[in-house]
Structure 1
Amino acid sequence: MAAKQRIESVDILRGFTIAAMILVNTPGTWSKVYAPLLHANWHGLTPTDLVFPFFLFIVGISISFAYKNKPKHGATYRKIVIRSLKLIGLGLFLGLFLPYPPFIKDFEVLRFPGVLQRIGVVFLISAILFMNFNWKTLLKIGLSILISYWLILGFVPLPDGSLPTFDRAPNNWANYIDLKLLGKHMWKPDYDPEGILSTLPAIATCISGILVGRILANAKVNKLVYLVATALSLLVCGYLFSIWFPINKAIWSSSFVLVTSGWATLILAVIYYLTDVLQFKLGTIFKYVGSNAITIFFLSSFISKCFYLIKVNEQQSIHAWLYNNIFVHSFLSDKLSSLLYALSAVMFYLALGYVLYKKKIFIKI
């Protein structure tokens, strides 16, 4: 399989992941959402919890292709740093921007972490690791992160001498550090799902993608067999590990890393089998979105924020007006109406991805 084809297969998964991100982030109303389209309250795993780790996993695969033969000199590292800073900057811009005067949110309530910020940090560290270590060392680094994270969160006493827990409380090390260092600059008063300490296992998620990317790049192995075997190994290890360290997206637990990487690898194996082995032309629309993934995700977040904040009258924002006047009907349930709004947003951005791709517009962040 040629490199272009391998990248195309990954583009399909990347585009599907972006579409899923938009679907779960853009309901008609957050008060009426089907359970699978919501995150787990704390411990547990829903389909929505798979979306973000899937994207970081794909970032790892992309790193394994993009930097495989890059020279280890200042220019390459400079490009890595610049791209990371762009991602972080876009994330902070989304947090700061207001679509009305004074156009900038009060810095005192600005949330520092975020999805794009985490992608930027994880990309930076993972790309540098990939440039300097072979796959065996990367595997050891990833495993060391997961084991160390479990030991710290589960067994190291907090400064006041209390024993740590995995619960949503200040005596959870991930939450404790975020509260101390971020204070008011968090998503919730007591924790942030893209917090400081939980970024470490997120790097392990990206490393898992790098290692799977190595399988895709290896012309000497049966890729499908290796992908399925890797997926099953990750899933078995992850669910077993969850006995001692519960699956939890909010703190990005080590078992969460293993299980989500396992599902990502398994779904990639299915896509690979259908598109590259059987030559079925399925999911091409997702390839279009995947070719401008960050751009489309950023635009969807930016436009959604504007729709929520810009008023069309004293009672309704653009979002509320569109939802109530187009999607709410007596013959539809509230949850179905809310889902149809989200699906319409997905269809819009799929169409945008198609137009950009056909016009050969590829905006690289």
Structure 2
Amino acid sequence: MPDIKNRFLSLDVFRGLIICFTIIVNMPGNPETTVPALTFARWNGFTPADIIYPAFLFCTGLGLFFSFQDWREEGKVGKIYFTLFRRSILLFIIGILVNWFPFMQTNLDTGKWEFIPFSQVRIWGILQRIALGYLLVGLMIQVLKLRATLAITLVCLVLYWPVLYYGGRSPNPYAIRTNLVLIIDKWMIGTDHLDQSPLVPFEEFGFLSTFPALANIVAGYLTARFILRTKITYETLTHLLLTGFLLMVLAYIWNNVLPVNRKIWTSSFAVMSIGLSLNTLAFIIFIVDKAKYAKEAEFLRVFGRNPLVAFVLSMTMTIPLQLVEVQPGLSITDWLYINVFSYATAYIGSFLQALFFMLIIWLICRVLDRKGDYITV
């Protein structure tokens, strides 16, 4: 294992892989002709794309462990609390700004641009979930220590099941219109602050579903701790793979009574995603640290060194291009797809356009990397 003062190479590659996959999933040329594996499950179920956001939380836990190692070496308790709150607040604000972007919209009646009022801004999002999870898990580890943190996390994971079941509305407490996550979010922040999806205003990163998602962060923390203690050996990788496999089997069985569902982050989904995260990380550690393909993984590591920049760009870059029309009813992104990428067939063309934007974001991150600029909170 590298010295703890240095960056964990495999963590950078793992994080970079998730960022790369996120960009490809979020920026297709045509959402209607996207390969099913690159789309999220509509409600119940699990696709490869569904690993993205829980993997972010898993990475947060990995990074949190190394941060705690540094903080405890310095011996400044006050700095721990200050850093936890500062990072969480900044990340939450960035998440809201990403949702608010581009801050202007066209008035459908007058055709003029107008400022988007905060009353219409989506409050929750993946960055906000990471911020809350980072703060809560960090505080629990610092105040209650690891064993109590693990116990509380397991309680949240188990109790979330009956809370969802008895708190939702009949006949199906797990349905999009009747689940407790939506009920609480509407009560807390109102419908206008939710994600305005075509079917029904709903927030997939709602307040209540934050609590089972803490398990993904704690799992990342425990994984980093385990790797540091056991070093990178084949036995360590076997433990990670076996644990991940058993968790996925458990989730598969649990799915019979509690559907695997990312949007309400059911406990079965949390367990499934933790298992897949463990297996993916074990594979990357083998490739990078055992098979010695670190140089070949440099492409992904560029994303992993500046994940915040890459993610924010993936969420905002195409918005101005969608607003600017090269001709009536045809935005720049639509023009690119129709006139450049669609010639490779609909599905391949949609994928190629996503790769095109992914490479642009990579080049931006590469420039920052060569300058030694790593933008964090």
Q: Do Structure 1 and Structure 2 share a fold, with TM-score over 0.5? A: yes
Point out where structure 2 has 5 or more consecutive residues left out of the alignment: 106-112
Partner of 2:270: 257
Q: Aligned letter for 1:75?
A: K
Greater shift in the superposed pair: 246-255 or 317-326: 317-326
In structure 2, what is the Cα distance between the partners aligned to 1:10 and 1:285?
14
Q: Deviations over 1:243-264 (max 9, x none)?
A: 2211000100101011111001
Q: Does 2:249 match 1:241?
A: no
Q: Aligned letter for 2:93?
A: G
Q: Aligned letter for 1:112?
A: I
TM-score by length of 1: 0.91
The root-mean-square deviation of aligned C-alpha atoms, in Å, is 2.1
Q: Classify the secondary structure of the residue corresponding to 1:195.
A: coil
Q: Aligned letter for 1:315?
A: G
Distance 1:6 1:292, change over 3 A: closer
In structure 2, what is the Cα distance between the partners aligned to 1:99 and 1:324?
28
**Equivalent residue for 2:173, pick from 155, 165, 173:** 165
Distance 1:67 1:233, change over 3 A: same
Q: Classify the secondary structure of the residue corresponding to 1:31.
A: helix
Q: Does 2:129 match 1:118?
A: yes
Q: Deviations over 1:100-135 (max 9, x none)?
A: 576742333211111221121111112222223443
In structure 2, what is the Cα distance between the partners aligned to 1:67 and 1:200?
21
Q: Does 2:309 match 1:305?
A: no
In structure 1, what is the Cα distance between the partners aligned to 2:353 and 2:167?
46
In structure 2, what is the Cα distance between the partners aligned to 1:176 and 1:125?
23
Distance 1:271 1:28, change over 3 A: same
Residue pair 1:153, 1:164 contacting (<8 A) in 2 also? no
Deviation at 1:164, TM superposition (A): 6.0
**Equivalent residue for 2:146, pick from 132, 135, 139:** 135
In structure 1, what is the Cα distance between the partners aligned to 2:339 and 2:201?
37
Q: Aligned letter for 1:38?
A: T
Q: Classify the secondary structure of the residue corresponding to 2:8.
A: helix
Q: Does 2:339 match 1:325?
A: yes
Distance 1:157 1:357, change over 3 A: closer
Deviation at 1:156, TM superposition (A): 4.3
In structure 1, what is the Cα distance between the partners aligned to 2:350 and 2:168?
44
**Equivalent residue for 2:308, pick from 294, 298, 306:** 294
Q: Aligned letter for 2:265?
A: W
Partner of 1:229: 242
Partner of 2:2: 2
Residue pair 2:104, 2:116 contacting (<8 A) in 1 also? no
Greater shift in the superposed pair: 225-234 or 66-75: 66-75
Q: Does 2:109 match 1:106?
A: no
Deviation at 1:68, TM superposition (A): 2.3
Partner of 1:345: 357
Partner of 1:92: 96
In structure 2, what is the Cα distance between the partners aligned to 1:255 and 1:359?
43
TM-score by length of 2: 0.89
Deviation at 1:327, TM superposition (A): 1.4
Greater shift in the superposed pair: 174-183 or 250-259: 174-183
Partner of 1:266: 279
Q: Aligned letter for 1:314?
A: P
Partner of 2:108: none
Q: Deviations over 1:158-195 (max 9, x none)?
A: 6xxx576212222x111221222232211133421111
Partner of 1:78: 82
Partner of 1:185: 193
In structure 2, what is the Cα distance between the partners aligned to 1:96 and 1:245?
34
Residue pair 1:215, 1:226 contacting (<8 A) in 2 also? no
Deviation at 1:19, TM superposition (A): 0.7
Residue pair 1:99, 1:309 contacting (<8 A) in 2 also? no
Residue pair 1:309, 1:317 contacting (<8 A) in 2 also? yes
In structure 1, what is the Cα distance between the partners aligned to 2:268 and 2:133?
18
Residue pair 2:14, 2:304 contacting (<8 A) in 1 also? yes
Partner of 2:372: 360
Residue pair 2:137, 2:149 contacting (<8 A) in 1 also? no
In structure 1, what is the Cα distance between the partners aligned to 2:168 and 2:264?
17
Q: Classify the secondary structure of the residue corresponding to 1:312.
A: strand
Partner of 2:158: 147
Q: Aligned letter for 2:366?
A: Y
Deviation at 1:341, TM superposition (A): 0.4
Residue pair 2:123, 2:194 contacting (<8 A) in 1 also? yes
Residue pair 2:26, 2:314 contacting (<8 A) in 1 also? no
Partner of 1:314: 328
**Equivalent residue for 2:181, pick from 169, 174, 180:** 174
Q: Aligned letter for 1:2?
A: P
Question: How many residue pairs end up in the alignment?
Answer: 359
Greater shift in the superposed pair: 308-317 or 280-289: 308-317
In structure 1, what is the Cα distance between the partners aligned to 2:205 and 2:41?
15
